[in-house]
Amino acid sequence: MPRKEPEQKDEPTLIDLRELYKWKPEDLFPEISYSTYSNLAYIQVTHRDVYIDFLEMPGIKQEDGKMHVNGTRIFMSHAAAQKLAEALNGILNQVHNEGGMESYSPVDKGKSELTSKVSRKTTEKTT
């Protein structure tokens, strides 16, 4: 539908937001401009939204004597949070069942140092 040009400068212009934001799925290219590591998540839920604070623990002690913890807060609708929970549960169950989940075990039982090992289940084929 062609736009009607305003007759005067002060006359409002009609903008169709559906046309402005219309896109084809094949035209969608995620552009990740920022990434960070998180080893702790704090989740809050209100009647309208879900807030997830992804934190980098333990933080860094600053000159003021307080520990400053970097974090990123993500706001989501309840439906988006439910989809995220379902997707995480599914992929973590799959990785666990395949034996690819990271596990931590002490190097020496007398020491407190920990190493991380990833071990995969091996399946034997019988013919």
The average pLDDT across 69-79 equals 95
Q: What is the pLDDT of residues 2-53, one digit of tens each?
A: 666 656 677 788 888 888 888 888 888 889 898 989 999 999 999 999 999 9
Please check the confidence at residue 126 and state whether its pLDDT lies above 60: no
Q: What is the pLDDT of residues 83-109, one digit of tens each?
A: 999 999 999 889 888 888 876 665 655
The confidence score (pLDDT) of residue 118 equals 54
Q: Is 67 helix (H, G, I), strand (E, B) or coil?
A: strand
| 124 or 62, which is more confident | 62
Q: Shortest CA distance to 121 belongs to which of 104, 105, 97? A: 97
Question: pTM for the complete prediction?
Answer: 0.59
The confidence score (pLDDT) of residue 104 equals 62
Select from 2.30.31, 2.30.30, 1.20.272, 3.10.20 the CATH code of 35-101: 2.30.31
Q: What is the pLDDT of residues 24-37, one digit of tens each?
A: 888 888 898 989 89
Rounded CA-CA distance 47/89 in Å is 23
DSSP strand pairing (40-45 vs 50-55) = antiparallel
